[in-house]
Structure 1
Amino acid sequence: MIPLVAPLFFCATVWLFWRFLHRYVTRSPLDNIRGPSSSSFWRGNISDLFNRHAWGYHDSWSRQYGQVFKFHGTLGARALYVFDPLALHHIVVKDQMLYEESRWFTAWNHLTIGPGLLSVHGEQHRNQRRILNPVFSINHMRNLSPVFYATVHRLQKAISNELQSSSAEVDILRWMGRTALELVGQGGLGYAFDPLVDDTPNDYADALKRLLPLNFALHAYRPLGPTIVKICTPAFRRAVARLLPHKKIQEIRRVVETLETNCKEVYESKMTALEKGDDTVTHQIGEGKDILSVLIKANMSASEANRLSKDEVLGQISTLCIAAMDTTSNALARIFQLLAEHQDVQEKVRAELLGVSEFDDIPYDQLVSLPYLDAVCRETLRLHPPVTFMFRETVQDVIMPLSQPIRGVDGSVMNEIFVPKDTFVAVGIRACNRNKQIWGDDVLEWKPERWLSALPETVVKAHVPGIYSHLMTFLGGGRACIGFKFSQLEMKVVLAVLLRSFRFSPGDGEIVWNVAGVNYPTMGKTSTEPSMLLKLERIR
Structure 2
Amino acid sequence: MLESLAQVALIGGLCWIFWKYFRQVFVKSPLDNIPGPPRESFLYGNLRQILDRHAWPVYEHLTEAYPGIAKLAGPLGTRMLYVFDPVAMHNIIVKDQYVFEEAAWFIKSNKLNFGPGLLATLGDHHRKQRKLLNPVFSIAHMRRMIPIFNEVTHKLQKAIECRVIGRDGPVELDMLNWMGRTALELIGQSGLGYSFDPLVADSSDEFLTAIKAFQPTIMQLSVLRRIVPYLPEFGPPWLRRKLVELIPNKNVQKLRHIVDTMHERAVGIYQEKKRMLEQGDEGLKDKIGEGKDLMSILLRANMAASDDDKLPEEELIGQVATFIFAAMDTTSNALSITLSLLAEHPDVQEKLRKEIIEASNGEDLGYDTLVSLPYLDAVCRETLRLHSPVTTVFRETRSDAVLPLSEPITGIDGSKINEIHVPKDTTVVVGVLSSNRNKAIWGEDALEWKPERWLDQLPESVTEAKIPGIYSNLMTFLGGGRACIGFKFSQLEMKVVLCQLLTKFTFATSAKPVVWNLSGVRFPTVAEATKPSMPMMVGLYKEPGVAV
1:427 match: 430
Contact 2:234/2:240 (<8 A) preserved: no
Contact 2:437/2:446 (<8 A) preserved: yes
Residues 341-386 of structure 1: CA deviation (Å, up to 9, x unaligned):
1111111111111101243111111111100000000000011100
Q: Does 1:215 align with 2:218?
A: yes
How far residue 229 of structure 1 moved from its aligned partner, in angstroms, is 7.2
Report the 3-state secondary structure (helix = DSSP H, G, I; strand = E; otherwise coil) of the residue aligned with 2:196.
Answer: coil
Q: Distance in 2 between matches of 1:116 and 1:349?
A: 38
Q: Does 1:532 align with 2:524?
A: no
How far residue 224 of structure 1 moved from its aligned partner, in angstroms, is 3.2
2:546 match: none
1:35 match: 36
How far residue 21 of structure 1 moved from its aligned partner, in angstroms, is 5.5
Task: Output aligned runs, 1:114-263, within 5 Å.
Answer: 114-163=115-164, 165=167, 166-228=169-231, 230-231=233-234, 233-263=236-266
Q: Distance in 2 between matches of 1:186 and 1:95?
A: 38
Question: Relative to structure 1, is the Cα distance of residues 493 and 76 closer, same or farther in structure 2, using a 3 angstrom cutoff?
Answer: same
Q: Does 1:94 align with 2:95?
A: yes
Give the % identical residues. Answer: 51
Residues 100-129 of structure 1: CA deviation (Å, up to 9, x unaligned):
111110011011100011000011100111
Question: Relative to structure 1, is the Cα distance of residues 417 and 347 closer, same or farther in structure 2, using a 3 angstrom cutoff?
Answer: same
Report the 3-state secondary structure (helix = DSSP H, G, I; strand = E; otherwise coil) of the residue aligned with 2:421.
Answer: strand
How far residue 26 of structure 1 moved from its aligned partner, in angstroms, is 2.3
2:524 match: 521
Q: Which ranges in structure 2 are unaligned for 5 or more consecutive residues?
A: 543-548
How far residue 305 of structure 1 moved from its aligned partner, in angstroms, is 0.8
The CA RMSD measured in Å over matched residues stands at 1.9
Task: Output aligned runs, 1:487-502, within 5 Å.
Answer: 487-502=490-505
Residues 396-442 of structure 1: CA deviation (Å, up to 9, x unaligned):
10110000111111111111000011111111000000011111111
Q: Which moved more, 1:3-12 or 1:315-324?
A: 3-12
Contact 1:127/1:306 (<8 A) preserved: yes
Please tell me the residue identity of whatever aligns with 2:420.
Answer: I
Report the 3-state secondary structure (helix = DSSP H, G, I; strand = E; otherwise coil) of the residue aligned with 2:449.
Answer: coil
How far residue 217 of structure 1 moved from its aligned partner, in angstroms, is 1.8
Question: Relative to structure 1, is the Cα distance of residues 247 and 11 closer, same or farther in structure 2, using a 3 angstrom cutoff?
Answer: farther
Question: Relative to structure 1, is the Cα distance of residues 9 and 413 closer, same or farther in structure 2, using a 3 angstrom cutoff?
Answer: same
2:354 match: 351
Q: Distance in 2 between matches of 1:128 and 1:20?
A: 31
Q: Which moved more, 1:12-21 or 1:267-276?
A: 12-21
1:313 match: 316
Q: 2:484 aligns with which of 475, 481, 493?
A: 481
Q: 1:374 aligns with which of 377, 382, 399?
A: 377
Residues 198-218 of structure 1: CA deviation (Å, up to 9, x unaligned):
124212212212222222221
Please tell me the residue identity of whatever aligns with 2:71.
Answer: K
Q: Distance in 1 between matches of 2:396 and 2:20?
A: 18
Residues 468-502 of structure 1: CA deviation (Å, up to 9, x unaligned):
00000000000000000110111001001000000
Please tell me the residue identity of whatever aligns with 2:256.
Answer: R
Q: Does 1:408 align with 2:415?
A: no
Question: Relative to structure 1, is the Cα distance of residues 92 and 18 closer, same or farther in structure 2, using a 3 angstrom cutoff?
Answer: closer
Report the 3-state secondary structure (helix = DSSP H, G, I; strand = E; otherwise coil) of the residue aligned with 2:217.
Answer: helix
1:339 match: 342
Report the 3-state secondary structure (helix = DSSP H, G, I; strand = E; otherwise coil) of the residue aligned with 1:220.
Answer: helix
1:448 match: 451
Residues 283-304 of structure 1: CA deviation (Å, up to 9, x unaligned):
2111111110000000100001
Contact 1:180/1:328 (<8 A) preserved: yes
How far residue 503 of structure 1 moved from its aligned partner, in angstroms, is 0.8
Please tell me the residue identity of whatever aligns with 2:523.
Answer: Y
Report the 3-state secondary structure (helix = DSSP H, G, I; strand = E; otherwise coil) of the residue aligned with 1:536.
Answer: strand
Contact 1:111/1:229 (<8 A) preserved: no
1:324 match: 327
Q: Distance in 2 between matches of 1:92 and 1:11?
A: 36
Q: Which ranges in structure 1 are unaligned for 5 or more consecutive residues?
A: none
Q: Distance in 2 between matches of 1:189 and 1:162?
A: 29
TM-score by length of 2: 0.95
Residues 242-288 of structure 1: CA deviation (Å, up to 9, x unaligned):
12212111111111111111111000110111111112213211111
Q: Which moved more, 1:361-370 or 1:274-283?
A: 274-283
Report the 3-state secondary structure (helix = DSSP H, G, I; strand = E; otherwise coil) of the residue aligned with 1:39.
Answer: coil
Q: Distance in 2 between matches of 1:53 and 1:385?
A: 15
Contact 1:23/1:75 (<8 A) preserved: no
Residues 49-96 of structure 1: CA deviation (Å, up to 9, x unaligned):
011100011111221222100101111111101000001111111111
Q: Distance in 1 between matches of 2:19 and 2:131?
A: 44
Question: Relative to structure 1, is the Cα distance of residues 68 and 233 closer, same or farther in structure 2, using a 3 angstrom cutoff?
Answer: farther
Contact 2:49/2:55 (<8 A) preserved: yes
Report the 3-state secondary structure (helix = DSSP H, G, I; strand = E; otherwise coil) of the residue aligned with 2:468.
Answer: coil
Q: Distance in 2 between matches of 1:344 and 1:50?
A: 35
Q: Distance in 2 between matches of 1:56 and 1:240?
A: 39
TM-score by length of 1: 0.96
1:44 match: 45
How far residue 529 of structure 1 moved from its aligned partner, in angstroms, is 2.1
Q: Distance in 2 between matches of 1:451 and 1:21?
A: 47
1:26 match: 27
Contact 1:401/1:415 (<8 A) preserved: yes
Q: Distance in 1 between matches of 2:312 and 2:135?
A: 18
Q: Which moved more, 1:475-484 or 1:198-207?
A: 198-207
Please tell me the residue identity of whatever aligns with 2:515.
Answer: V
Q: Distance in 2 between matches of 1:96 and 1:225?
A: 23
Please tell me the residue identity of whatever aligns with 1:495.
Answer: L
Q: Distance in 2 between matches of 1:505 and 1:114?
A: 40
How far residue 6 of structure 1 moved from its aligned partner, in angstroms, is 9.2
How far residue 5 of structure 1 moved from its aligned partner, in angstroms, is 9.5
1:57 match: 58
2:545 match: none
Q: Distance in 2 between matches of 1:285 and 1:158?
A: 20
Contact 1:386/1:519 (<8 A) preserved: yes
Please tell me the residue identity of whatever aligns with 1:528.
Answer: T
Q: Distance in 2 between matches of 1:383 and 1:73?
A: 27
Q: Distance in 2 between matches of 1:472 and 1:447?
A: 18
Q: Distance in 1 between matches of 2:232 and 2:126?
A: 17
Contact 2:212/2:532 (<8 A) preserved: no
1:511 match: 514
Q: Which moved more, 1:356-365 or 1:9-18?
A: 9-18
Q: Distance in 2 between matches of 1:422 and 1:27?
A: 14
Q: Distance in 2 between matches of 1:231 and 1:468?
A: 42
Report the 3-state secondary structure (helix = DSSP H, G, I; strand = E; otherwise coil) of the residue aligned with 1:402.
Answer: strand
Q: Distance in 2 between matches of 1:391 and 1:346?
A: 36
Q: Distance in 2 between matches of 1:506 and 1:209?
A: 22
Please tell me the residue identity of whatever aligns with 2:139.
Answer: I
Please tell me the residue identity of whatever aligns with 1:431.
Answer: S
- The number of aligned residues is 539
Question: Relative to structure 1, is the Cα distance of residues 489 and 233 closer, same or farther in structure 2, using a 3 angstrom cutoff?
Answer: farther
